[in-house]
Amino acid sequence: MTDVQQIKQRFGIIGNNPELNRALDIACQVAPTDLSVLITGESGVGKEFFPQVIHNLSLRKHNKYIAVNCGAIPEGTIDSELFGHEKGSFTDAKETRKGYFDVADKGTIFLDEVAELPLSTQVRLLRVLESGEFMKVGSSVVQKTNVRVIAATNVNLLQLIQNGRFREDLYYRLNTIPINIPPLRERKDDIYLLFRKFAGDFAEKYRMPVVSLTDEARILLENYEWRGNIRQLKNITEQLSIIEESREIDENILQHYLPSQSSTLPVIYRKSDHKHSFDSEREILYKILFDMRADMNELKKVVHDLSLGQKATYYPAEVKNDFAQTNIVTSANPASINITAKHQNITETEEIVDESLSIDEKEIELIRKALEKYNGKRKHAAKELGISERTLYRKIKDNNINV
C-alpha cells in the first residue's frame, strides 16, 4: 500500500489533518479497483487533486485522464461533448465527432460539478455506469466503453434528489466509494503550513523575498473562517506578496486583506425548492412590481366603491399614510368624488379586474413575449431576459412552451 506521506510529496498536497489523511488513504485503497468514486467538499478545498491521485495509482495510469467541468458546458451541447455526435445530427454538426467517453476508453473521466448535469444526460451517464454502453447524438448504434468515472460536487446531492433535480439511482452508482474533503476552517493546523508554501512559491515566481507573519498575524490567519477555503488563502497570500513592501506582515496589515466574517458576497435570491424560477435578482424586481400593481388595484377599488356611494373597507398599507392626510369630500352626486391634498380630482369609473400575480405565470408570459419578439431565436430571447441560454432551454421544456 502506498504511504500517504509519499502521496503528499508526489502531488504537492500540504497538511496533516486526520480527515485529510483519511481521504488520501481511501483514495490509495480504491485506486487499484474500477469502482466509481464521489468526492464531496466545499468549493476551493482541492477536490481536483484526488481524481489525479486515484488515476495515477491505478492500472489505467498509462491511458487517458480527462477532466470535465459539467457546469461550464451548455445544456444543449453537453451530450455531444460527453458521448459524441454524428454528422448532421444538429445544425452545427458538420462532421462526426468522438465524445469524451469514447476518447477516454480504458482511462479515467473526472466529472467535476456533476450536480449540474441535465436529467437527460444523467440517464445517459447511468447507462454507461451500469453497462458501459452509450450512443452518439444522432446515432442508433450502441458503442462500448471501458471508462472509470470519478465525480465531484460541492452541493448536497440528497437535497437535489428530494427536489427532483438529480436521479437517485445515479447518485448511488456514483457514490460507490465516497470521499469527503474537510473545509480549511476544520484544518487550523494546516493553514499556516499552506501559507508558507504559497508564500515560497510566489517569492520564487516573482523573484522577491518571502513574506512572513508576526505571531499575532498568524493567530488571526488560523482563526479566520476561510469561506473560500484553500483558493481564498492562496489568493490572499499572492496579494500580500505583490502589494506589501514590508516582508513582515503584522495583524493590522493582514486584517485589510481579510473580508469581514460578518459580511457575505452578494446573495442571489432563489426559490431553490421550486423548479420554476429565474434564479436571479430579476425575480425580486418582478415581485416588487407585482406588489405595487396589487396596491394600485386596491386603491382603484377604494375610489370605485366611494364613487358608487359604498363604504370602503380596505386601504393598502403603503397608502394608509397618504389617505390619513387626504380630505375626501362626497357630493350629492355619488358618481363624482374630489380628493384633495396629495391626490386631487381623481375620477375613477373603470371596472376593476383581478389580475393573476403568480410569479410563475408572469415568468412564462415574459418568456413567450421574448421568444415572440425575436421570432423564436432562443439566444436573443435569453439575453433579453437576462438568463443563460441553458436556463431558457430548461424553462421552455419544464413549462411546455411552444416555440
Binned average pLDDT, 10 residues per bin, the chain of 403 residues = 81 92 95 96 95 96 96 91 90 88 96 96 96 93 96 96 95 96 95 96 94 95 95 96 93 92 47 43 63 78 72 48 44 43 46 61 83 83 82 81 75
Which residue has 469502482 as its cell numbers?
35
CATH of the domain at 141: 3.40.50.300
Predicted confidence at residue 329, as pLDDT, reads 41
For the chain, the helix, strand and coil percentages under 3-state DSSP, each to the nearest 5? 45, 10, 40
Is there a single domain that holds both residue 176 and residue 189?
no
The rounded distance, in Å, linking the Cα atoms of 334 and 309 is: 5
Is residue 79 located within the same domain as residue 172?
Answer: yes
Amino acid identity, position 85: H
Which pLDDT value is given to residue 303?
A: 77
Phi and psi, residue 83, nearest 5°: -115, -5
Query: Does residue 124 belong to any structural domain of this protein?
Result: yes
- Domain residues for 366? 358-398
H helix runs in 42-84, sequence order: 49-56, 78-83
Same domain, 147 and 21: yes
**Which pLDDT score is estimated for 326?**
43
Closest alpha carbon to 149 in 38, 49, 10, 312: 38
| pLDDT at residue number 280 | 47
Q: What are the φ/ψ torsions at residue 281 (nearest 5 degrees)?
A: -70, -10
Judge if 69 and 144 occupy the same domain. yes
| Cell 488513504 found at | 25
Residue that finishes a domain, picked among 257, 286, 306: 257
pLDDT given at position 1: 47
Global pTM value: 0.64
The CATH number of whichever domain residue 377 belongs to comes to 1.10.10
Does a structural domain hold residue 282?
Answer: no
E-strand stretches of 227-283: 248-249
Domain-embedded: residue 328: no
Q: Are residues 124 and 207 in the same domain?
A: no
Across 132-257, where does the E strand assignment appear?
133-135, 142-144, 148-153, 177-180, 212-213, 248-249
85 found inside a domain: yes
**φ, ψ at 211 (rounded to 5°):** -80, 150
* 231, 257, 283 - which closes a domain: 257
Residues 224 and 142 in one domain: no
Predicted pLDDT at 393: 80
Domain annotation covers residue 313:
no
Q: How many domains does the chain have?
A: 3
pLDDT at 339: 41
Do 8 and 140 lie in a common domain?
Answer: yes
Residues 6+ apart with CB under 8 A from 11: 49, 52, 53
Q: Tell me what pLDDT residue 299 has.
A: 80
Query: Are both 109 and 216 inside the same structural domain?
Result: no
Q: Which of 147, 165, 180 is the last residue of a domain?
A: 180
